[in-house]
Amino acid sequence: MFAPLTLALVALSVFLTSTLSGVFGMAGGLVLLAVLLTFLPVATAIAAQGAIQIVANGSRAWFSRKHIDWRVLSIICLGLAAAALVLFILRYTPDLATVCIAIGLMPILVWIPKDWLALDAQKPLHAFLCGFFGGGLNLAVGVSGPTVDIFFIRTPMDRHTIIATKAATQVISHASKVVFYGGMAAAMGQGDWIMVLVAAPFAIAGTNLGFHILQRMTDDGFRHWTRWVVTAIGLFYFGRGVVLLAGY
């Protein structure tokens, strides 16, 4: 059972990270996972973060439901299913250093010039690859925001459609993660599930606040700040991974 102070810290973290994701459509999950990894085993932290993120992304998808591109979403789901099958066959299990290094390298993707990697989630093949690589990384290391983002940030979609479709994508991806780590999720103690239940309303409140902040942003501002926020978080993860590999 977690101490009240720990539960309060998690609730505050969920509120702030859900607000962050409500504005940028990602990044919040990256920060939340870092918090959970400080006091939970890797697989359990990924499962718990997935459960909380289902609520956060689900509420965001609901608030923006009229903007969801359902055709793009359905193709992404096919890619996700393919990635899950590959990881299941490989009997993949995560470790902390690998998770941190992988997440730390993800922000490189958002800085690749458009001419080098012109990806567009509105194209069927690209949408499938988004599901395969983005969904696969979410299953493997717990988050995939920057990977999914490169398929959306350069599309003709406006920020509302991007946020809504990505949120719906992440709901399905996080649900798949909870199922994929079903054994670990089943092994979560009563205290772990109480933490998730306590966090749920804060996830919805933060998402609602982020949704209203988003309305005040321009499309250009949205794209600009997304890169810098994700890069800063990635540097933190990469540094932590290097420290772990060094044995400290």
CB atoms within 10 A of CB 98: 15
Digitized pLDDT (tens) for each residue of the chain, 248 residues in all: 557 777 788 888 888 888 887 777 666 777 888 888 887 778 777 778 888 878 877 887 888 889 999 999 999 999 999 999 998 898 887 788 888 888 888 778 777 776 777 788 899 999 999 999 988 888 888 777 678 877 887 788 887 888 889 889 988 988 888 787 765 555 555 556 677 777 778 878 887 888 788 777 777 777 777 778 878 888 888 898 888 888 76
Q: How far are the Cα atoms of 12, 63, 207, 220 from residue 15, in angstroms, in the given order?
A: 5, 16, 8, 26
Hey, where are the domains in the chain?
4-245
Average pLDDT, the chain: 81
User: What is the biggest distance separating any 2 CA atoms in the chain, rounded to whole angstroms?
Assistant: 51
Instruction: Determine the pLDDT at residue 248.
Output: 64
Which one-letter DSSP state was computed for residue 188? -
Q: Cα–Cα distance between 180 and 201 in angstroms, integer?
A: 25
Reported residue count of the chain is 248
- Residues 72-107 have pLDDT tens digits of 999 999 999 999 999 889 888 778 888 888 888 877
